Amino acid sequence: MTARLIRGTEIAAEIREELAARVRALKAQGIVPGLATILVGEDPASQSYVRAKNKTAHDLGIHSEQHNLPAATTEAGLLALIAACSANPALNGILVQLPLPRHISESRVLAHIDPAKDVDGFHPVNVGRMLLGEPCFLPCTPHGIVAMLQRSGVATAGAEVVVVGRSNIVGKPVAALLMQKGPGGNATVTLCHTATRDMAAHTRRADILIVAAGRPKMITADMVRENAVVIDVGVNRIGVRENGRAILAGDVDFEAVVEKAGAITPVPGGVGPMTITMLMVNTVLAAERAHGLAE
């Protein structure tokens, strides 16, 4: 039996409709949510991501400002721009596109963003609040994964969840979110990584398997439990089509696993659309909080 597809494109569209209504309600009160995106250098993938973020903001009625800085920008220059955006009341969210050039400290840059405008959810204050289960801005991809599970009717309470990958962007935070008390959490979580012995022994136990390892098709059908829910976060370029477009593959061997799993996300069209959507969720929430309309 072929697995049910969990389509992030469709779920993201639902959330964006809800967000558009919230933006209209804010504008009726004279409030326009504002987002600043900052890109250092000319990495093609980063340029594409930032364009998509600004287009989504525009489509939702969110004011967006894009700051493109040369790769030679100094760390002090970048921090000064972040400080100016933090002080601008018209901007509710600030996003610094990662990765940064090697001469700039990612940790210092992220810590320089006002936590109240940290719509990427990477500031140490927001990371700490997330771990404590306190109100905060959640990192966008993990937040999107939890939203996908909830809106797809996948029960997390009591579920055996295995996360493959321990990055600060996906693996660690999604594990933390799923083990929290409350809706979308209460799972028993195992986190696997490059030093895990016999990874397949862990992945085969999973009711919900989340893979964010950055290795194309590393999860094969023999590593997946029958009827498991599989969330594939990976986006790997494995070739180029005749028309010049990239051939993409996830971290899961989709063609084989789709015949065994109960539900699975495709690549593309799975987790990807959720990340930008949850960035917009955070931006609107930041505007609501700035005006005392949300906790």
Domains of the chain, earliest start first: 31-114 (3.40.50.10860), 140-274 (3.40.50.720)
82 pLDDT more than 80 = yes
Q: How many helices (H) and strands (E) does the chain have?
A: 10, 11
Q: Contacts from 130-134 at CB under 8 Å and sequence distance 24+?
A: 130/173, 130/176, 130/177, 131/176, 133/180, 133/181, 133/182
Q: Which residues on adjacent β-strands are paired with residue 246?
A: 240
SS3 285: helix
Tell me the one-letter amino acid at 157. A
Give yes or no for a contact between 95 and 119, defined as CB atoms under 8 angstroms apart. yes
234-272: string of b/e by CB count within 10 Å (b at 16+)? bbbeeeeeeeeeeebbbbbbbeebbebbbbbbbbebbbb
Query: Length of the chain in residues, anyone?
Result: 295
User: What is the Cα–Cα distance from 158 to 249, expressed in whole angstroms?
Assistant: 31
285 pLDDT more than 80 = yes
Q: What is the mean pLDDT of the chain?
A: 96
Tokens encoding 208: 């919900």
91 pLDDT more than 90 = yes
Compute the C-alpha angle 140/144/146, nearest 5°.
125
| pLDDT reported for residue 189 | 98
pLDDT in tens, 134-191: 999 999 999 999 999 999 999 999 999 999 999 999 999 999 999 999 999 999 999 9
Tell me the one-letter amino acid at 251. D
Backbone φ/ψ region at 37: left (φ over 0), alpha (ψ -120 to 50), beta: beta
User: What is the Cα–Cα distance from 5 to 123, expressed in whole angstroms?
Assistant: 33
Tokens encoding 156: 């997390």
pLDDT in tens, 196-223: 999 999 999 999 999 999 999 999 999 9
User: What is the Cα–Cα distance from 115 to 110, expressed in whole angstroms?
Assistant: 9
| pLDDT reported for residue 183 | 93
Tokens encoding 255: 């063609």
pLDDT in tens, 24-75: 999 999 999 999 999 999 988 899 889 999 999 999 999 999 999 999 999 9
pTM of the model: 0.95
DSSP3 helix / strand / coil % (the chain, rounded to 5): 40, 15, 40
Q: State the DSSP code for 224.
A: S
User: What is the Cα–Cα distance from 17 to 26, expressed in whole angstroms?
Assistant: 15
For 133-187, the DSSP string reads: T-S-PPPHHHHHHHHHHHHTT---TT-EEEEE---TTTHHHHHHHHHSSSTT---
User: Per the omega criterion (within 30 degrees of 0), is the bond before 99 cis?
Assistant: yes
| pLDDT reported for residue 92 | 98
pLDDT band at 246 (very low <50, low <70, confident <90, very high): confident
| pLDDT reported for residue 261 | 98
Residue 167 labelled as part of a binding site = yes
Residues with catalytic function: 53, 97, 120
For the packed helices 8-28 and 272-290, what is the interaxial angle rounded to 10 degrees?
20
